[in-house]
Structure 1
């Protein structure tokens, strides 16, 4: 039996305040076999996902209110703004909106590679998640890790 190898494809995402949403949209398209959107369409789809994520917070208010920082209504109002960065709560909500699993990776110098730091939406399956790379300073890129 031959050795399995791993192919990593990193797709840089612009740092315009939408990088989390852009990287999730990019990953969802790749996962679904759809063409990767150009930058303008990616921005539009990212803003649509952001809006759906904000709506999902409102729908799930009772179960999410406790883990957002500060006043819930202010938080949701802020996250609707295209320049406001998203983080773990938004990834969690995006997995529900898209009904797809999302795995977040980070580069770890100690292991000399990528490590999984968070998984969301596992109830939608564990195979073939949307994959994003978190750089540790508020930026996300799209990632595809393929076993060959």
Structure 2
């Protein structure tokens, strides 16, 4: 009798653990529903026509879902660490059947099956989200490339792919120069020009996300970073390069007018293509070349 009583106490303790686990699972389910409601609200707040914000929205949604999935998984793992014997309830159930104590059903194996089923559904959900995001990005990319191709065709040009390695803007410039200049040299000369003419650039040096301005020291550090790293370039760097090369630079985009930097120079411009959806990292610069039909017998001629 004493042995049966002790065993019954152990079973009750295990049932309490199981109830705690079920409460955690129900909380996870509630949090997921709340997150989905939040995501729907986020989607409703961004116009479908604003493709840049829609792209960022997809990335934010994937991040929020991944963070919740990771947190839930960590809580499940901590629960298992705190109650390692919880996985042995199947054997307890078998012993209960042998001892004929209340003939308890196999609660744990059912809970385990439910956990496995939920985990499988969660994996499928994450896979669907990732697939949908890739499909959206691919759709945006195709549409953008189609529009850019039409603009370039009107200029008897086509896009020339540049590696997406952080140096793409400088490589696109390098690709169109008639003289040899390394990416490292372009970066170094760009940084030095900006540092020498800091008063011309500092008013336009701001946080692209928050819009706040930076200090002079921040700007000088930014210029040093241009030399030392594969940091992306933008309009400030293009302005410096235009002055260094003393020629205009055109930037073609799918849904915006052509930007011309260095209009005061009268040479034939360098032409860059700025893409929003070119790669997983997002924005990217490509070079251009004459249409293949006009580039017979080898490499396309230089544009400058």
Q: How far apart are the structure 1 equivalents of 2:167 and 2:155? A: 28
Deviations 1:20-56 (A, max 9, x none): 0000111223xxxx6xx7xxxxxx7112111100000
What residue in structure 2 maps to residue 129 of structure 1? 269
Kindly indicate which of the two structures has a greater share of residues assigned to helix.
2
> How far did residue 116 of structure 1 move?
4.1
- What's 1:23 paired with? 172
TM-score, structure 1 length as denominator? 0.74
Contact 1:105-1:131 at 8 Å conserved across structures: yes
1:119 maps onto 2:268 in alignment: no
Give the 3 Å change call, closer, same or farther, for CA 129–116 of structure 1 in structure 2: farther
The SS at the match of 2:239 is helix
User: 2:159 is matched with which residue?
Assistant: 10
Q: Match for residue 186 of structure 2?
A: 49
RMSD between superposed Cα atoms in Å: 2.2
Higher relative contact order (Cα pairs below 8 Å, separated by 6+ residues): 1
1:59 is aligned to 2:200: no
What is the total number of aligned residue pairs between the two structures?
124
Deviation at 1:101, TM superposition (A): 0.6
Name whichever of 47-56 and 58-67 sits farther off. Answer: 58-67
Going by fraction, where is strand more abundant, 1 or 2?
1
* Aligned equivalent of 1:112: none
Q: Deviations over 1:2-22 (max 9, x none)?
A: xxx642132110011100000
Q: Runs (4+) of structure 1 moved beyond 4 Å?
A: none
Measure the CA separation in 2 of the matches of 1:75 and 1:50.
12
Q: Structure 2: which 5+ runs fail to align? A: 1-153, 207-213, 277-281, 295-304
Classify 1:144/1:128 alpha carbon distance in 2 versus 1 (closer, same or farther; 3 Å). farther
Secondary structure of 1:138 counterpart: strand
**TM-score in terms of structure 2 length:** 0.38
